[in-house]
Structure 1
C-alpha cells in the first residue's frame, strides 16, 4: 500500500492512541508518521534521529528514515511539507565533498541536504513545493556564488508519481516548463544547467513504487553554440564526472566527463 493509504487507514488510530505509524518501502526506507497535533514535529524528528542511529548497524543499513507528519481529520488527512529524511552518509567521497574541500560553494535546495546527510554541503535551503524550489533556485543563481547549486523538485515524486496522478503530473510538468524561461534568463554566460531525474516514477504504471526506465538528461548553457545529442552510455556518474572536470576537482572513480563535448 502507498503511504497515503496507510495514513488513511491508521491515522485515526494514531490520533486516538498516540501510537506511531511505522511502515517500510522497497528503497529500502522506513517511514514514521504521526499527526502534527498529537506528536509535535520536534518530538517526531527526535524519534526519527534515534531510529536512524539504531539502524546504522551493518545488518540493517536502511537507506533512509523518513519523518512523515500529517494533518487533517479522519477521511481527509494530508501529509505536510514538514517531512524530514535521515539518510545514511555516502559510502565514499562525492563530487560535492571535492567541491567543498576545494573552497567551492555547494548549495543544496530541497531534499538534497537530507539525501546526502549534509555531506559536501556548504548551504542548505528547505522548500515546501516545486514552485518554492524554483523560487529558491532563481534567487541562488542571481547571487554571486561559485560552485554547484543542486535542486530536487520533490512534488513530481511524492505528490504525483507515487500516487499515479496523471493529470497532476502533467500540470506539474507544465508549471515547471513555464518557469524555465525565468531561470534561463537568470543564467550567466558561463553557467551550466543540467536537468535530469534520479529515477523513474511513471504515473501510468501499476502500483505505487518507483518504475524502471531511462531518464532524461538535458544540458544547457548560454554559451552553447549548437544543440545535439551526447553519445555513449550516460549514467549519473557521468554527470558527476562532468561537474568535477568543469571545476578541476578530483573526479569520481566512475563516469565519463562530457565537458569537452558541450559546446
Structure 2
C-alpha cells in the first residue's frame, strides 16, 4: 500500500470566531477575514482554486465556481486555543479539561522550588509578549545571569536567555527541569526555550527555540500509523508537539519557506504513511506581534509555493491544509484566538468541489487520514473520506 497523507498546518490561520469565542475574550476574531479586510484584499490564487473562498468571505479571495479541492471548516472540541490542544485533537485526542494557564504568573511557591532546583534566581514570572519582555528585562538578565521566566494566555512556561549568557545546552537543561517539575495542576502543555541575542535595546530572538511538550494522554494518529509500520515524518515543531511520540523521522526547520522545502524533500522519498508539517511563522512572527502586513505577505508566499507541492503529489496522495487555532493580528491583544480553522483537501484521485461543511471536531481530520491509510479507527473523530472518495 503506497498511499500517503500530507498534512500542512498553517499555524494560527483561523477563519472566524467560534460560538464560544466570548468565553475566551475573542469576539470579533477572524484571522483570515480581518487581515484580508485590513489589507484591502489578499492575493491567494492557488488556495482560492482549492476552495478557500468557498469556506467564508475573504476579501480578494472569491469563491471558486469549480473548486479543485474539497473545503470546509473545523471547530475545536477541546477546551482551549493553544498549539498543543489543536494538534492533539487533529490526531484524535480531545481534552475534556483545558490545560492550565497562569494569568497572574506561576505560584511563588513553585518559583522558589524551581530556583532551588536550577541553582539560579529568575526574573519576570508574568504574562508577557516574548519580544517585549526581552527588551524590558534583557539588560538585567545579561547583568545578573538570571533567566527570564514568563507565560502567555496559552498553557506555557517560557524561559528566555541570551545565548552568550546562558549557553543553549544549559538553557535546555533549565527547561527540562521545569518540564519535570510542572505536574498536576501546574502541568502546562509546553515548556519553551526562548534564546535570544543582541545588545541592550536591540535584543532579538534566535531560531534555536525548542518546545518541551507534555506527552499526549493516550495514543494519537501518529502512534497508530507507526505501529502499522508506516512512515510518520514530521517537519518543524510537529515532533516536539507530540513529545516525540509516533514519529519515525523528523526535521527541525527555521521558517515557513524552509519548512516547505523540507516537506518537498520528504515527498520525494517517503513511500507511504504520513508527512506532517507546521508552518510556525504565521503565529510566532506575525500573529503574536500584531503584524498584519507581514502576516498577509506570509500567506501569499505560502500560496506561491503550492504549485511545487502539487507537482510533488503522487496519484495516491491525500493533501490536507488546515490550522490549529487563530491568532488574529488585528485584535487588541497578542494571544491566540478561539476560531474555526480552514479545511482544504486535495488529491488527483479524489472528488473535487465537495463541501465538507462545519466539522464538529478537528479529530475528523485524523479519522479521515486513518481511514484513507487503512489503519482502522482512532480514539475520536468521524471520517469524511467516503464523501471525497471516487475520483473525477
- The TM tier, using the shorter chain, reads over 0.9
Work out whether residues 226 and 246 of structure 2, in 8 Å CA contact, stay in contact via their aligned partners in 1.
Answer: yes
Structure 2 counterpart of 1:210, from 336, 361, 369: 336
Runs of 4+ in 1 over 4 A off after TM superposition: none
**1:230 is paired with a residue of what secondary structure?**
strand
Which range is displaced more, 225-234 or 76-85?
225-234
Work out whether residues 290 and 334 of structure 2, in 8 Å CA contact, stay in contact via their aligned partners in 1.
Answer: yes
The equivalent of 1:41 in structure 2 is 168
Work out whether residues 321 and 345 of structure 2, in 8 Å CA contact, stay in contact via their aligned partners in 1.
Answer: yes
The answer to whether 1:137 aligns with 2:251 is no
TM-score by length of 2: 0.65
The equivalent of 1:122 in structure 2 is 248
Unmatched runs of 5 consecutive residues or more in structure 2: 1-127
Structure 1 counterpart of 2:154, from 23, 27, 30: 27
Structure 2 counterpart of 1:14, from 137, 141, 144: 141
1:248 CA drift (Å)? 1.9
Work out whether residues 354 and 387 of structure 2, in 8 Å CA contact, stay in contact via their aligned partners in 1.
Answer: no
Alignment of 1:57-136 (within 5 A): 57-136=183-262
Which range is displaced more, 229-238 or 9-18?
229-238
When the two structures are aligned, how many residues end up with a matched partner?
262
- CA deviations on 1:217-250 (whole Å, 9 max, x unpaired) are 1001122342221135342100010011112224
Structure 2 counterpart of 1:3, from 112, 119, 130: 130
The answer to whether 1:245 aligns with 2:366 is no
Unmatched runs of 5 consecutive residues or more in structure 1: none
Tell me, in whole angstroms, the C-alpha distance in 2 between the residues paired with 1:164 and 1:193: 30
Structure with greater contact order relative to length (CA < 8 Å, sep ≥ 6): 2
The answer to whether 1:52 aligns with 2:182 is no
Structure 2 counterpart of 1:155, from 275, 281, 304: 281
Which range is displaced more, 147-156 or 207-216?
207-216
**2:341 is paired with a residue of what secondary structure?**
coil
Structure 1 counterpart of 2:310, from 176, 184, 197: 184
TM-score by length of 1: 0.97
Tell me, in whole angstroms, the C-alpha distance in 1 between the residues paired with 2:378 and 2:349: 26
- CA deviations on 1:115-161 (whole Å, 9 max, x unpaired) are 10001011011001100000000111111421001000000000000
1:95 CA drift (Å)? 0.8
